[in-house]
Structure 1
Amino acid sequence: MDVFNLYWVEFLTIAVAHLVAVASPGPDFAIVLKNSVSFGRRAGIITSIGVGLGILLHVAYSLAGIGLLIKTTPWLFTVFSYAAAAYLIWIGINALRSAPAAPSETEAPVASQLTISDKKAFWTGFLTNGLNPKATLFFLSLFAVIVSVDTPMTIKAVYGVYLTIATGVWFCFLSYVLSSRKVRDFIGSNSHWFDRVMGAILIALAIKLLTS
């Protein structure tokens, strides 16, 4: 019973810490918001699934001990951070280049004008989370401070599965809300300005990452 209580306390602590982290605005939120509004509910949900599965990458290297290597090797983490910043800047620049719809197209709903493949939506979400240094630091701290070294690997794996599912569900919920007809109709023919604003936000996040 004592062992069960130990794991239960660990799980609740992880769940609360994760809730705070996942609810904080960041690259994941920005890309899910952008794809949900620009491309519709399906693209938003698939992007969210990619973000959720990106968590498995962080869990895997944390359990494998690679996280310790990153933590004890500053230059490696710096390279990782620069790669993440470059990816965010690339997405941001593409968004800034978004052009307004042709006059004949503005009469139709935004949803029918812009498309993105399921594969691209998924990998955008996966890479945005997988290359997020904020998530890297979170999982390094999570498995180094909250999770006991005596916790069995199977229990740690269960924690990882929970974090993956919880992240995916949270962002799927957000994409469902953000891709509603009211939200997309509100943006309407000004969707290119929305893309540009989101692009600027992504670039700002990249600059903050490089200067922090």
Structure 2
Amino acid sequence: MFWQDFITIALIHLVAVASPGPDFAIVVRNSITFGRRIAMYTSVGIGLGILIHVAYSLVGLSVVIKTTPWLYQAISYLAAAYLVYLAIGALKSGPPSASAKGEDTPAPKEKNMGPGKALWIGFLTNGLNPKATLFFLSLFTAFIDVDTPMGIKLAYGLYLAIATGLWFCFLSYILGSGRVTRLLGQKGYWLDRTMGVLLLGLAAKLVFA
């Protein structure tokens, strides 16, 4: 029975994690602006952020958050403010300088972000996402009950965190390889700006939904 539930959870999670959202936008943005290595750290942070949702879902706090309108709204506003902050940085992106336009010059440079900050940004982006709260609320309510052993619950949670981190690490690798890297170096600021607009749209959706 648990294996059947696990397979179903894995398939649902795959669809959810592959859908565009704040996590996707910030990984793309960091890949363009800072390069593959920083995007990888961001991806690991996103995976760690999943553990927040897993933790409060296991102890039932997700139900409290969902059934307490002012608390859920406060989380939504906090998440929206953070997304706006990230969007402003993305919208400020511009074309590379003349000296950086050489064909053999690797485009995305690691500018002013270290691994720790990248990890923290990924962690906050996922941890503050109230849509993830709803996802885990519905997922854990549907497949976990009082009879589910704690070991099985923890296994589900760890899988979701690891699978999320690996997915975004894979995305970071793809965005930071070969021709994609060179293309992003010359035209990537347009995609960065697009991600900024997407982040603003996601922030607006959180506030006005």
Normalised TM-score (structure 1): 0.91
AA of the residue aligned to 2:142: V
Matched residues in 2 for 1:201 and 1:34: separation?
11
Equivalent-residue separation in structure 2 for 1:49 and 1:11 (angstroms): 22
Q: Which residue does 1:175 correspond to in 2?
A: 172
Task: Give the number of aligned pairs.
Answer: 207
- Give the 5 Å matches for 1:37-186: 37-107=32-102, 108-112=105-109, 114-186=111-183
Q: Report the alpha carbon displacement of residue 146 of structure 1 after superposing the two structures with TM.
A: 2.0
Unpaired stretches in structure 1, ≥5 consecutive residues: 1-5
Given that 1:52 and 1:164 are in contact with CA atoms closer than 8 Å, whether structure 2 keeps it comes out as: yes
Q: Which amino acid in 2 is paired with 1:46?
A: Y
Is the deviation greater in 108-117 or in 131-140?
A: 108-117
Q: Is the 8 A contact 1:37 1:183 kept in 2?
A: no
1:196, CA displacement in angstroms? 1.7
Residues 49, 105 of structure 1: alpha-carbon distance in 2 compared, 3 angstrom cutoff: same
In structure 1, give the amino acid aligned to 2:198.
I
Give the 3 Å change call, closer, same or farther, for CA 142–96 of structure 1 in structure 2.
Answer: same
Superposition CA RMSD, Å:
1.6
TM-score by length of 2: 0.92
Asked if the contact 1:13/1:146 (under 8 Å) is kept, the reply is no
Assess if the C-alpha contact under 8 Å between 2:93 and 2:189 holds in 1: yes
Q: 1:17 & 1:154 partners in 2: Cα distance?
A: 21
- Which digits, 9 at most, give the CA deviation of each residue in 1:124-158, with x for residues without a partner? 11111111111110001111122233101221011
Deviation at residue 113 of structure 1 after TM alignment:
6.5
Task: Tell me how far 1:91 sits from its aligned partner.
Answer: 0.4
Query: Counterparts in 2 of 1:9-24, with a 5 A limit?
Result: 9-24=4-19
Give, as a single letter, the amino acid of the residue that structure 1 aligns with 2:167: W
Q: Which runs of 5+ in 2 are unaligned?
A: none
Q: Is the 8 A contact 2:108 2:185 kept in 1?
A: no
User: How many percent identity over aligned positions?
Assistant: 58
Q: 184, 198, 201: which one pairs with 1:187?
A: 184
